Chain A
Amino acid sequence: MAALYEGYTLCGLVPDQNLSSSGIQGIEEERDRDHVVVTDSTRSVTLYKVSDQKPLGSWTVKQGQKLTCPAVFNSQTNEYVAVTDNKVIRIWKEDDILLDKAFKATVSSDVWKVHCTHGGEPVVLFQRGAVRLLDSLLAAPQQPIEEVLAQEEAIRWSTIIVAETQQFIIITTEQKGEHFLYLQRLNPNSVQRYRLEREEPGLSPLSFSATYRDKHICLLYLYPNGHVYQSVLSVRGLGTEEGVQALPLPRSLLLGLPVGDGQLEAASAMALDEAHVAVVGVPHPSAGGGKDFLCIWNTNFQTLQAGKEMAGKIYGQLWSYSNKVFIPHGKTLSIIPFECPKSSLASALGKLKHTKTEESKTPNSVPSWNNILHGEKAQPSKSAETRRTRTTRKSQSTTNLTTDQVLELIKTAPVEEIQKEVEGFLTRAEFQDLQPSVGQLALTLVSRSLADPAFYSSSTLAQLVHTRCLCHSVCPDLVLLALEKKDYFLCQLCLQFFPDIPEAVTCACLKAFISIPDVDAEKVSLEPDSVKFMENLITRDRAEAGLQNGFSPTSSVVNDRQTRAEDVKKKASAPSQLSCPVGLHKAVLINEILQTPYSDTFLLPHLKDLSSQHVMLFLQYLQFLYLKYSQDAFPQMEGFRSPSLSQIMDWVCLLLDAHFTVLVMTPEAKGLLLNLHRFVKSQVRLVSELGKIEGSLQELRKMKAKESIGQYSIEIIELF
């Protein structure tokens, strides 16, 4: 199943006043997969190293001049090519500091864009549709440029595609509300014109994306009504007749995306591979009307595979290079790594057993013995949180204090000051040496909090935990302190980020969490993702309706009513299973416990300390989770941290082990135990059926292997 991973910020944006455009013209791949050239909409071009999130170079044109096309990188000559003021082609190298001193040439007609594929020669596309190779154009810059497009025809979008050594320029144009597509082959030049089928009157495509696969060019385009079409163009039969008259371009509806109220404005769809489409600016089907989502849809099964809410406005721009999506939103340009494994029906329905990719998502920075012994440097991958603090709060920290100074400060200063200084310290410090100092900071903070009951700085501690440089053994009192101060958010963070919480502490947390009154729990602010997960789990109706298929269930009232009616029926048939025995926030906290690592021999003695009421409640909650998970194809909530089914079962077993005699004696537990017994029975039956199937399949294989020899045969053997 496709997944979107934790994203990170590449750079900030300067959108224009009314937020109509992101301020980015284009992003092009540079020398390798790790470098991109970002061209903003006014004057500057910046080269970034993606994995470091670091700019390597930046070039700006003079005031008064304007970049009119995204800069491209010519990997043959290691030069950058851009166009200013429509007519001036500029070429420079990475060493050139000033653009004005670099090569420039003025051409006779307005340039639309310069395209360049990796390892290919740049191609200049003029606004009137003519195409020239850069070299031949520069040989005679003032050469006359013919007009290919009709009078009122204007280019809307263009791209370049390499199909088996042959380069193709694809142009889409608009003329009086009609849309055309030009497929221009280079060397030898030939062009074919197609007419796009009309969608509802007045609708013109919002975005295009073209890919080449299986000797065909696949064009994907999104209309404001949420329809995503695909047209397939053959590369072979091209060029026999020069395209004067426009051929109709057949299309097929790939997806009908939910659009919510009104139509899509700034949205974009992009093919990631043959089965997956990334869509931005389209509402998430289970999250109401907001359009600021990045989603991956599977076109084969019309299922939503992964979704992510993007903070801030979406501009409908989307790029993708080497399994990363580049998306400008709000005031940042984010990079979101994704993964689209080969799709199967099982994975599309969420039934495929897949290993949790937790490790890759949250790079754990607590040093492992391996790294220390074998001298591998810890990968300097900082979490998005530190990055954000660094970019936004840079101005706040005025004085640059050293670790020791900060430590001194912590011992005496008031909470606010400490918070400010620690923040500043974290933004300044280099990642490698963050490790020991964060530990020291946390230790001092905790010891002061323990000594002085009035002092407690929750946010600072949370910040330190967020660096992921802390672990329980560095600062053993932290979790218990948080528990004591009823700082459940910090507890949650610790449980989430600390790899080495001892079972006794886990159990103490569990006991504390279970015993919080629900009213109190709801006041606590917790990690939004985990809350959202529980919300989804508890109120499944919306999610179910949204996940039915790719077509919007809200678009037709009848359809909607039907699903509602079905839901009501479902509820009526299984009323007991749908109420969560604990409150939302409490459930979130308990989920965190379920996901912490433990070893059962050590956990068991501590578990015995739980009171029977608590055990009952916890078991009921586990039963609820189990039912929710096993009821129907429960999608492992895209990207959310959530307890797995086996974790839930393990905890059920542990609890029963620890408290079985007590539970047997408790009359209230009878129903629960019976239910659990039923689960076990059903599991055993399932496993035994599977065993039977396995056995018979093996027999089948054995039978096949044996060649059938009849009662009599005549054979030839050879002896040597």
Chain B
Amino acid sequence: MGEFKVHRVRFFDYMPSAIRTMAFNSQTERLAVARADGAVEIFNFNDNFFQEKVIPGQDGRATEALCWVGHRLFSAGLNGEITEYDLENLRPQYTVDAYGGPIWTISSNSQGTQLAVGCEDGTVKIFAILEERIQFQRNLNRHKGRIISLCWHPSSAQIAAGMTDMIKIFDAETGHATRRLLVDRAMGASKNKEVVVWSVGYLSDHTIISGDSAGKVQIWNGLTGTLVRTYLVTKWDVLVLSVSKDESSVIAGTSEGTVIQFQFISSTVDQHDKEWVRTRTFRNHSHDVSALAHTDTAVVSGGMDTQLVVRPLLDKVEKNTQESALRKIAFPHRSLVGCAKKAGLLLFQFPDRLELWKLGESEGHVCLMYPYFVCRFLQGEDHICCSALSACGGWLAYSTVSSVRLYRIQYNNTISINKVGTLARACSRQPVHLLCASDDGKWLATANTDCEIHIYNLHKMKLHCMVPVYNSCPTTIAIHPVTNNLISVHADQQIFEFSLVQKEYTQWSRRLQAQGLLSLWLERDTPITHITFNPKNPDHIILHDTYMFCIIDQSLPFPELNAVLWNQMTLKSLPVSQRIGQSHAFKICKSFQHLMCVSLLEDLSLVVVERPLLDIMSQLPAPVRQKKFAT
């Protein structure tokens, strides 16, 4: 295939935001994750953990708690407002001020009729969930000190509230506190430091489980108000608890970065009286674990170190399958980098700004000109949803939840930027998450989270056709500049090629489906986020995920099912004459890791944008517990 000159770019200092909280909806298998910058991401656990929706954040919106009520998603934050999200248009639908100061926690009852929020001023406020909005109902009896955590009893008759130094149980009907559980402070020097109950769980047998800032997980009897068991699990805080749906298992996240599982089992074999026993410890984070979800088969955790970790419980899944593999989601499942192929420009998208860079030039290995920073576009309060740069580098567009902006950039000796205009955001019923136009400007393809791909004819300005719906969400689509075929790659790693002219899958695509993809390809755990084409050789399709990029040569045969997928080393060792026989369509290169973008410029040099996880780690604040030698 030959040599490529590679621009290895590492100056995109993208910094994901810390995960603040999460909520799992077991009906729809969707996980909502709120980040510290106010963004909310929806992951589809049925479809390879694909990040199907992102609601961009906003300055000043600090989401503290998330809550699913059926298909509706509510959040509350330290700005004192309750927000419901419009999951179709990917923006907040409305906000309601609770008038109780910063809100620390939000919880809905099991029927989905009432929403309780815990406020800074010590009140628990009950809101009724109506069809299109929520309405304040009443306050429970007010107490001194903020309400940090809340949990409804499954019968909706009681609410447990965690505050400083105590847990209170309220009668949801009368609003009176029925029990007061005093939580011990930490031993030793911090004896006079008040203890904060960061999280409570209320089980149907009236067992209350609490996690607090003294590092304890405590099991209480909610009927008698007595302490049953105390587990001291860390020297620092237990920040979050999550109870499994069947109430047989509880997980606790700590400031040390560990997740500790407790199970309700009989401590000795063939004994019927069960008790809560500390069973497993997971250590997948370097920093605070501030968000947890206990799904049926996995522990999902996130925190300060910005990564979402899905850790399957090995007693719940089949071993040694793809399902039992640990998954870490570190990067968004969409491209944040735009590339102007003709001009050699890179556009980096940050939540609050865009940066435009000019690539360097070189003679072989020798760098003649270093890349330089061209300009920066600062966005205001609303964060950027998406951005694009034209191939010539002269046009730049980006959008926020409220507007779309288009800029004309002129590169004379001095750069001048003209704001062309602000277009009204065209609202469609389905949230389109992918959009691409053909190079000749005739075709436009859109993909939405219902897995539909629509093709529009831009000359006639009408719908041309719809690609047959596949059951996995497309992660990226592209239209071939020469053949006008649509390439789509899906969350389950399948690749399709659809001819726009014939309105059917191409021969190549049919052959690929008939033969099937290798399991090594299917088992990759990051989605393909970008496709480009080779302007000189129409057979070449270049695509990449986080850990590799691949050039698919459509003229070569597919690998046999028992063949080696990563065969570059083998080919390298073979003499040229024998390479033909051994090579197959997938040319995979893993030399570059943590890829944000791979693109092929007009002069056939590759641009590789890397963002090493270590660099991200090094920008995080120091963890409370540092791993020392031999500890």
Chain A residues in contact with chain B, CB under 8 A?
A: 691-692, 694-695, 698, 709-720
* Cβ-closest chain B residue relative to A715: B6
| A708 CB, nearest partner CB in chain B, Å | 11
Q: Which residues of B contact A719 (CB under 8 A)?
A: 1-2, 4, 551, 568, 587, 589
Select which of B3, B11, B364 is within 8 A of A712 by beta carbon.
Answer: B11
Q: Which residues of A contact B190 (CB under 8 A)?
A: none
Cβ B587 vs Cβ A720 within 8 A: yes
Q: Which residues of A contact B362 (CB under 8 A)?
A: 714
Q: Which residues of A contact B3 (CB under 8 A)?
A: 716-718
| B523 CB, nearest partner CB in chain A, Å | 22
User: In the assembly, what is the distance between CA of A709 and CA of B614, in Å?
Assistant: 13
Q: Which residues of B contact A709 (CB under 8 A)?
A: 8, 10
Interface flags for B428-471 (1: CB within 8 Å of A; 0: not) read: 00000000000000000000000000000000000000000000
Cβ B2 vs Cβ A718 within 8 A: yes
Select which of B1, B367, B571, B629 is within 8 A of A714 by beta carbon.
Answer: B367
User: In the assembly, what is the distance between CA of A711 and CA of B7, in Å?
Assistant: 11
Cβ A720 vs Cβ B629 within 8 A: no
User: In the assembly, what is the distance between CA of A368 and CA of B367, in Å?
Assistant: 72
Cβ A720 vs Cβ B572 within 8 A: yes
Q: Which residues of A contact B579 (CB under 8 A)?
A: 720
Q: B622 on the interface (CB 8 Å rule)? A: no
User: In the assembly, what is the distance between CA of A591 and CA of B378, in Å?
Assistant: 82
Q: Which residues of B contact A692 (CB under 8 A)?
A: 629
23 example contacts (A-B, Cβ-Cβ < 8 A) are as follows A691-B629, A691-B630, A692-B629, A695-B628, A698-B629, A710-B10, A711-B9, A711-B10, A712-B9, A712-B360, A714-B365, A715-B6, A715-B8, A715-B365, A717-B589, A717-B606, A718-B2, A718-B4, A719-B1, A719-B551, A719-B587, A720-B583, A720-B587
Interface flags for B1-32 (1: CB within 8 Å of A; 0: not) read: 11111111111000000000000000000000
Cβ A712 vs Cβ B371 within 8 A: yes
| B182 CB, nearest partner CB in chain A, Å | 40
| A685 CB, nearest partner CB in chain B, Å | 15
List 6 tightest A-B contacts by C-beta distance, closest first: A695-B629, A720-B571, A714-B362, A711-B11, A719-B1, A715-B6
Q: Which residues of B contact A717 (CB under 8 A)?
A: 3-4, 6, 589, 591, 606
* Cβ-closest chain A residue relative to B629: A695
Q: Which residues of B contact A714 (CB under 8 A)?
A: 5-8, 360, 362, 365, 367
User: In the assembly, what is the distance between CA of A6 and CA of B628, in Å?
Assistant: 49
| A703 CB, nearest partner CB in chain B, Å | 12
User: In the assembly, what is the distance between CA of A607 and CA of B166, in Å?
Assistant: 55
| B77 CB, nearest partner CB in chain A, Å | 36
Given A714-B6, A720-B572, 5 more pairs with CB closer than 8 A? A714-B5, A714-B360, A715-B5, A715-B365, A717-B591
Q: Which residues of A contact B1 (CB under 8 A)?
A: 719-720
| B130 CB, nearest partner CB in chain A, Å | 53
Q: Which residues of B contact A720 (CB under 8 A)?
A: 1, 568, 571-572, 579, 583, 587
Q: Which residues of B contact A712 (CB under 8 A)?
A: 7-11, 360, 367, 370-371
Q: Which residues of A contact B591 (CB under 8 A)?
A: 717
User: In the assembly, what is the distance between CA of A713 and CA of B605, in Å?
Assistant: 13
| B366 CB, nearest partner CB in chain A, Å | 8
Cβ B551 vs Cβ A716 within 8 A: no
Q: What number of residue pairs across chains A and B have CB atoms under 8 A from each other?
A: 67
User: In the assembly, what is the distance between CA of A719 and CA of B5, in Å?
Assistant: 11
* Cβ-closest chain B residue relative to A710: B10
Answer whether A716 and B6 are a contact pair too, CB < 8 Å, given A692-B629, A694-B629: yes
| A692 CB, nearest partner CB in chain B, Å | 7
| A14 CB, nearest partner CB in chain B, Å | 66
| A694 CB, nearest partner CB in chain B, Å | 7
User: In the assembly, what is the distance between CA of A715 and CA of B364, in Å?
Assistant: 8
| A195 CB, nearest partner CB in chain B, Å | 63
Q: Which residues of B contact A715 (CB under 8 A)?
A: 5-6, 8, 365
User: In the assembly, what is the distance between CA of A717 and CA of B606, in Å?
Assistant: 10
User: In the assembly, what is the distance between CA of A714 and CA of B630, in Å?
Assistant: 39
| A316 CB, nearest partner CB in chain B, Å | 57
| B369 CB, nearest partner CB in chain A, Å | 10
Q: Which residues of A contact B4 (CB under 8 A)?
A: 716-719
User: In the assembly, what is the distance between CA of A713 and CA of B629, in Å?
Assistant: 34
Cβ B10 vs Cβ A716 within 8 A: no
User: In the assembly, what is the distance between CA of A718 and CA of B371, in Å?
Assistant: 23
| A706 CB, nearest partner CB in chain B, Å | 9
Interface flags for B291-329 (1: CB within 8 Å of A; 0: not) read: 000000000000000000000000000000000000000
* Cβ-closest chain A residue relative to B9: A712
* Cβ-closest chain A residue relative to B582: A720
User: In the assembly, what is the distance between CA of A325 and CA of B360, in Å?
Assistant: 74
Select which of B9, B365, B587, B630 is within 8 A of A716 by beta carbon.
Answer: B365
| A693 CB, nearest partner CB in chain B, Å | 9
* Cβ-closest chain B residue relative to A692: B629
* Cβ-closest chain A residue relative to B366: A714
Cβ B630 vs Cβ A695 within 8 A: yes
Q: Which residues of A contact B364 (CB under 8 A)?
A: 716
| B594 CB, nearest partner CB in chain A, Å | 12
Which of A691, A694, A717 lies at the interface centre, i.e. has the most chain B CB atoms within 10 A of its CB? A717
| B315 CB, nearest partner CB in chain A, Å | 36
* Cβ-closest chain B residue relative to A706: B614
* Cβ-closest chain A residue relative to B361: A714
User: In the assembly, what is the distance between CA of A716 and CA of B11, in Å?
Assistant: 19
**Contact residues, B358-390 vs A (CB, 8 A):** 360, 362, 364-365, 367, 370-371
User: In the assembly, what is the distance between CA of A718 and CA of B3, in Å?
Assistant: 4
* Cβ-closest chain B residue relative to A698: B629
Q: Which residues of B contact A713 (CB under 8 A)?
A: 8, 367
Q: Which residues of A contact B606 (CB under 8 A)?
A: 717
Answer whether A716 and B629 are a contact pair too, CB < 8 Å, given A709-B10, A710-B10, A711-B11: no
User: In the assembly, what is the distance between CA of A713 and CA of B360, in Å?
Assistant: 9
User: In the assembly, what is the distance between CA of A692 and CA of B629, in Å?
Assistant: 7
| A534 CB, nearest partner CB in chain B, Å | 39
User: In the assembly, what is the distance between CA of A718 and CA of B2, in Å?
Assistant: 6
Q: Which residues of B contact A695 (CB under 8 A)?
A: 628-630
**Contact residues, B580-631 vs A (CB, 8 A):** 583, 587, 589, 591, 606, 628-630
Q: Which residues of B contact A718 (CB under 8 A)?
A: 2-4, 572
| B601 CB, nearest partner CB in chain A, Å | 12
| B300 CB, nearest partner CB in chain A, Å | 31
Which of B1, B8, B364, B591 lies at the interface centre, i.e. has the most chain A CB atoms within 10 A of its CB? B8
Q: Which residues of A contact B572 (CB under 8 A)?
A: 718, 720
Interface flags for B397-434 (1: CB within 8 Å of A; 0: not) read: 00000000000000000000000000000000000000
Q: Which residues of A contact B370 (CB under 8 A)?
A: 712
| B157 CB, nearest partner CB in chain A, Å | 56
User: In the assembly, what is the distance between CA of A574 and CA of B357, in Å?
Assistant: 72
User: In the assembly, what is the distance between CA of A713 and CA of B3, in Å?
Assistant: 16
* Cβ-closest chain B residue relative to A693: B629
| B599 CB, nearest partner CB in chain A, Å | 15
User: In the assembly, what is the distance between CA of A720 and CA of B572, in Å?
Assistant: 7
User: In the assembly, what is the distance between CA of A718 and CA of B583, in Å?
Assistant: 14
| B374 CB, nearest partner CB in chain A, Å | 15
Which of A691, A698, A715, A718 lies at the interface centre, i.e. has the most chain B CB atoms within 10 A of its CB? A715
User: In the assembly, what is the distance between CA of A713 and CA of B365, in Å?
Assistant: 8
User: In the assembly, what is the distance between CA of A691 and CA of B631, in Å?
Assistant: 11
* Cβ-closest chain A residue relative to B368: A714
Q: Which residues of A contact B360 (CB under 8 A)?
A: 712, 714
User: In the assembly, what is the distance between CA of A691 and CA of B630, in Å?
Assistant: 8
* Cβ-closest chain B residue relative to A718: B3
User: In the assembly, what is the distance between CA of A713 and CA of B6, in Å?
Assistant: 8
Select which of A691, A694, A716 is within 8 A of B5 by beta carbon.
Answer: A716
| B573 CB, nearest partner CB in chain A, Å | 10
* Cβ-closest chain A residue relative to B574: A720
| B387 CB, nearest partner CB in chain A, Å | 22
| A421 CB, nearest partner CB in chain B, Å | 64
Interface flags for B343-368 (1: CB within 8 Å of A; 0: not) read: 00000000000000000101011010
| A194 CB, nearest partner CB in chain B, Å | 60
